[in-house]
Amino acid sequence: QKEVEQDPGPLSVPEGAIVSLNCTYSNSAFQYFMWYRQYSRKGPELLMYTYSSGNKEDGRFTAQVDKSSKYISLFIRDSQPSDSATYLCAFYTGTASKLTFGTGTRLQVML
């Protein structure tokens, strides 16, 4: 079983739609949960960062963590064409040096 599972997409939605992106993980040691956004040919940029189970909201973005199910989600409300990018979930144990990334979900928001 992979440590992190993420549907690669692509996911195409119309402008204004609500987008749901998800990752599952198997490592119980993961304590920090992140979403990075990566535009084509660019480096990833941190979008959302959470520590505990529950929801965290930032503008149109909501990150949700369910530690009991080992499942995290990113919701994008009122999606815009500028949201078209690859979204990477990432995990950190708090003690190791590295982040563990999902493979990324490619999102395209159509006009």
Residues that bind another protein (CB under 8 A): 4, 6, 8, 32, 34, 36, 41-46, 49, 88, 90, 92, 94, 96-104
Which of 15, 45 has the CB closer to another protein?
Answer: 45
Q: How far is the CB of 17 from another protein (least distance, A)?
A: 25
Which of 24, 36 has the CB closer to another protein?
Answer: 36
CA distance 38 to 95: 25
Residue 31's nearest CA partner among 97, 102, 94, 88 is 94
Q: How far is the CB of 103 from another protein (least distance, A)?
A: 4
Which of 18, 96 has the CB closer to another protein?
Answer: 96
Q: How far is the CB of 6 from another protein (least distance, A)?
A: 8
Which of 17, 71 has the CB closer to another protein?
Answer: 71
Cβ-based burial of 34 (10 A; exposed 0-12, middle 13-18, buried ≥19)? buried
Residues 6+ positions from 101 with CB-CB distance below 8 Å:
4, 36, 88, 89, 90, 91
